[in-house]
C-alpha cells in the first residue's frame, strides 16, 4: 500500500500507515492499536487483503473497524483469494460482507467475488506514476532475465533458476537476477537450488522502486513464474519499462496480459514452454519490440492521473 498511500497524500489526504513490523504478532498488534487509536477521527480504513496468512490479519482488523464503526475497504491483492472464498466462507463473510466497498485491482478477482455473492466490488487497477518509468527498446543478446517478487513458495521462484539452467545447457549466454524480500524461507531454497545446478543467480534483496527501475535497465526479459496471481504491480511496472513479459497463465494474468499481443503466457511450472517463449523473443526482435510497445500502451491506463478519479469516488 506504500505507493497508494503516497499518491493519496499527494492528493491532500491524511494517511496513517501500519503493518511494517516484521514480527507477525507485532504487526497485528500495531494494526489493531492504530484502529483503536485513530478510528474515531478517520473516515476510512484501507486493508490490504492477501490470500496467505495475511488474510487473517485482514479479518482481525476488519472486526476492529466494525467495533469502532469505522468504514473499511479491503483491497483485494491475493491471487488465491477465490480459494479462501470457497473454503473459508464464514470468515470470508465476516471480512467482506460488512465492508463499505471491495476494491479489486483485477477483473479476475472482481468476477470471482461476484460469483460468491459479493456484488459491492469496484475495479480499480494498481496504479503507477508513469513518468517515473522510462520506456526502453531492448536487444535480447545476451539473454538477461529479471524476476521481481517476494520470495514465497506460491510464486514458484525455483522455476526461474531452472530456466537459467535450461538456457545455458542449450548453449545460450544468459543470466538471472531475482529481486525481492524473503517471506517464507524460499530465498535460501532458491540459493541452494542454484548451487545444486551450478548456476549463478544475483539476489540483491528488497529494492526501492527507484533501485529496481535502475536495475531493470540492465535486463531484457521479465519472467513471472508464479502458480497463483492477481495483478502484480511488478509486472505492470515491467510493462511500463519496455521489458517483454513471459508469465504463467494463472489467476489474473490473462486479464492483464493478452497472449501474443502485449506479452506471452505459458502453462504453470513448465520450464520448456518458458524457454521456448524466451527464445522466440530473441529470435524475433520485431515480436519482442511489438509486445513491449503494446504493453506500454496498455499500462498507460493505469497511470495515477487516470486512476485517482476512481479512488476519490470510493473514498467520498
The domain limits of the chain are 2-123, 130-301
Residue 247 burial (CB < 10 Å; 0-12/13-18/19+)?
buried
pTM score of the predicted model: 0.87
CA distance 180 to 144: 17
Whether the predicted pLDDT of 19 surpasses 80: no
Instruction: Report the top-level CATH class of 130-301.
Output: alpha beta
Lowest mean pLDDT among 22-31, 165-174, 280-289: 22-31
Residue 71 pLDDT level (bands cut at 50, 70, 90): very high
Q: At how many degrees (to 10) do helices 2-10 and 304-315 cross?
A: 80
Identify the pLDDT of residue 54. 87
Identify the pLDDT of residue 229. 87
Averaged pLDDT score across all residues of the chain: 95
Instruction: Return all residues near 12 (Cβ < 8 A) that are at least 6 apart.
Output: none
Lowest mean pLDDT among 1-15, 114-128, 208-222: 1-15
Identify the pLDDT of residue 73. 98
Identify the pLDDT of residue 1. 62
The DSSP string of 18-75 is: ----SSHHHHHHHHHHHHHHHGGG-S-EEEEE-SSTHHHHHHHHHHHHHHTT--EEEE
Q: What is the pLDDT of residues 181-197, one digit of tens each?
A: 999 999 999 999 999 99
Amino acid at each position: 500500500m506504500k505507493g497508494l498511500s503516497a499518491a493519496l497524500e499527494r492528493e491532500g489526504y491524511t494517511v496513517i500507515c501500519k503493518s511494517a513490523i516484521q514480527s507477525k504478532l507485532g504487526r497485528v498488534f500495531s494494526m489493531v492499536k492504530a484502529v483503536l487509536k485513530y478510528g474515531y477521527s478517520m473516515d476510512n480504513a484501507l486493508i490490504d487483503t492477501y490470500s496467505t496468512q495475511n488474510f487473517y490479519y485482514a479479518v482481525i482488523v476488519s472486526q476492529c473497524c466494525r467495533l469502532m464503526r469505522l468504514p473499511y475497504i479491503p483491497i483485494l491483492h491475493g491471487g488465491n483469494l477465490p480459494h479462501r472464498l470457497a473454503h473459508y466462507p464464514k470468515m470470508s463473510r465476516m471480512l467482506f460482507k460488512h465492508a463499505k466497498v471491495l476494491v479489486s485491482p483485477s477483473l479476475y478477482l472482481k468476477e470471482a467475488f461476484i460469483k460468491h455473492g459479493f456484488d459491492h466490488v469496484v475495479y480499480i487497477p494498481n496504479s503507477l506514476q508513469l513518468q517515473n518509468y522510462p520506456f526502453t527498446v531492448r536487444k535480447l543478446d545476451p539473454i538477461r532475465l529479471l524476476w521481481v517478487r517476494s520470495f514465497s513458495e506460491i510464486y514458484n521462484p525455483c522455476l526461474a533458476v531452472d530456466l537459467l539452467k535450461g538456457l545455458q545447457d542449450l548453449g545460450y549466454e544468459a543470466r538471472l537476477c531475482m529481486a525481492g524480500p524473503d517471506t517464507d524461507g524460499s530465498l535460501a531454497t532458491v540459493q541452494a537450488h542454484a548451487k545444486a545446478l551450478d548456476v549463478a543467480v544475483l539476489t540483491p534483496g528488497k529494492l526501492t522502486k527507484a533501485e529496481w527501475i535502475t536495475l531493470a535497465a540492465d535486463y531484457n526479459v521479465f519472467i513471472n513464474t508464479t502458480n497463483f496471481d492477481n495483478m502484480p504491480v511488478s509486472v505492470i511496472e515491467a510493462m511500463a519499462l519496455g521489458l517483454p513479459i513471459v508469465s504463467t497463465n494463472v489467476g489474473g494474468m490473462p486479464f492483464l496480459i493478452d497472449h501474443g499481443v502485449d506479452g506471452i503466457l505459458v502453462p504453470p511450472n513448465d520450464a520448456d514452454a518458458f524457454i521456448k517463449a524466451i527464445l522466440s523473443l530473441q529470435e524475433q526482435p520485431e515480436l519482442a519490440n511489438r509486445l513491449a510497445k503494446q504493453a506500454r500502451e496498455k499500462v498507460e491506463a493505469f497511470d495515477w492521473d487516470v486512476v485517482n478519479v476512481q479512488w476519490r469516488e470510493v473514498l467520498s
